[in-house]
Structure 1
Amino acid sequence: MSALPNSRDIEAFNVVAMELSFRRAAERLAIDQSALSRRIRQMEELLGYQLIRRTTREVSLTAAGEIFHERTRLLGSTIQSAVHSARIAAEGKKGQLRVGYMSFAAIEAMPRVVHKFTRLYPEVDLTLKYIRTQGQKIDLARNDIDVGFMLGPFTHPQFETQPISLEPLVAVLPMEHRLSTRESVTLEELARFPLVLGSMSEWDFFRPFVVDIFARAGISIEARYEISDAMGILGLVGSGIGVSVYSHGIVRFQPRTVVTKPIADASARIETLLVWNRAYRSHALTNFIGVARSIYGREGIIY
Structure 2
Amino acid sequence: MELRHLHYFIAVAEELHFSRAANRLNMAQPPLSQQIQNLETEIGVPLFYRTKRQVELTGAGKVFLEKAYQITADVEKACVAAQNTHQGKLGRLIVGFTGIATFNMLPRLIPAYRAMYPFVELTLRQLGTTDQVQALLKEELQVGILCLPVVASELNFEIVCRDSFVVALPKDHPLAAESHIDVQQLAPESFIMTTRKVGEGYHDGIINICRRAGFEPRISQEVHELQTSVSLVAAGMGIALLPGSIQELNIKGVVYRRIKNAIPPLETAIAWNKNQKSPSVENFLALARSVAASIATPESLYSL
TM category (shorter chain) comes to 0.5 to 0.7
Equivalent residue, structure 2, for 1:280: 276
Out of 159-168 and 139-148, give the one that drifted further. Answer: 159-168
1:160 maps onto 2:178 in alignment: no
**Matches of residues 25-174 of structure 1 in structure 2 within 5 Å?**
94-154=90-150, 156-174=152-170
Offset from partner CA, 1:104-134 (integer Å, 9 cap, x none): 1122312321110001100001110011112
2:228 to 223, 227, 232: 232
Partner AA of 2:170 in structure 1: P
**Cα pair 1:203 1:228 within 8 Å, conserved:** no
Name the SS of the counterpart of 2:219 in structure 1. Answer: coil
CA distance in 2: counterparts of 1:126 and 1:198, whole angstroms = 28
Name the SS of the counterpart of 1:279 in structure 2. Answer: coil
2:191 to 189, 192, 195: 195
1:295 to 284, 291, 298: 291
CA distance in 2: counterparts of 1:227 and 1:279, whole angstroms = 34
Evaluate the alpha carbon distance shift between residue 242 and residue 266 of structure 1 in structure 2; reply closer, same or farther with a 3 A threshold: farther
Q: TM-score under structure 2 normalisation? A: 0.65
Name the SS of the counterpart of 2:261 in structure 1. Answer: coil
Evaluate the alpha carbon distance shift between residue 255 and residue 193 of structure 1 in structure 2; reply closer, same or farther with a 3 A threshold: same
CA distance in 2: counterparts of 1:263 and 1:241, whole angstroms = 20
CA distance in 1: counterparts of 2:115 and 2:240, whole angstroms = 37
1:180 maps onto 2:173 in alignment: no
CA distance in 1: counterparts of 2:164 and 2:154, whole angstroms = 29
The CA deviation at 1:98 is 0.5
Equivalent residue, structure 1, for 2:242: 246
The CA deviation at 1:155 is 6.0
Name the SS of the counterpart of 1:280 in structure 2. Answer: coil
Q: TM-score under structure 1 normalisation? A: 0.65
Offset from partner CA, 1:149-208 (integer Å, 9 cap, x none): 011134655322222111111100011111112011111211222222223343433222
Evaluate the alpha carbon distance shift between residue 104 and residue 239 of structure 1 in structure 2; reply closer, same or farther with a 3 A threshold: same
The CA deviation at 1:100 is 0.5
Equivalent residue, structure 2, for 1:30: none
Unaligned runs of 5+ in 2: 1-84, 300-304
Evaluate the alpha carbon distance shift between residue 178 and residue 102 of structure 1 in structure 2; reply closer, same or farther with a 3 A threshold: same
2:205 to 205, 209, 233: 209
Partner AA of 2:99 in structure 1: S
CA distance in 2: counterparts of 1:240 and 1:143, whole angstroms = 41
**Cα pair 1:163 1:299 within 8 Å, conserved:** no
Name the SS of the counterpart of 2:139 in structure 1. Answer: coil
The CA deviation at 1:244 is 1.0
CA distance in 1: counterparts of 2:222 and 2:152, whole angstroms = 31
Aligned residues, how many?
213
CA distance in 1: counterparts of 2:222 and 2:248, whole angstroms = 24
CA distance in 2: counterparts of 1:154 and 1:118, whole angstroms = 28
- CA RMSD in angstroms comes to 2.4
CA distance in 1: counterparts of 2:143 and 2:134, whole angstroms = 12
Equivalent residue, structure 2, for 1:256: 252
Offset from partner CA, 1:57-82 (integer Å, 9 cap, x none): xxxxxxxxxxxxxxxxxxxxxxxxxx
Offset from partner CA, 1:224-272 (integer Å, 9 cap, x none): 1222222221111112221111011112223132111111114221000
Partner AA of 1:118 in structure 2: R
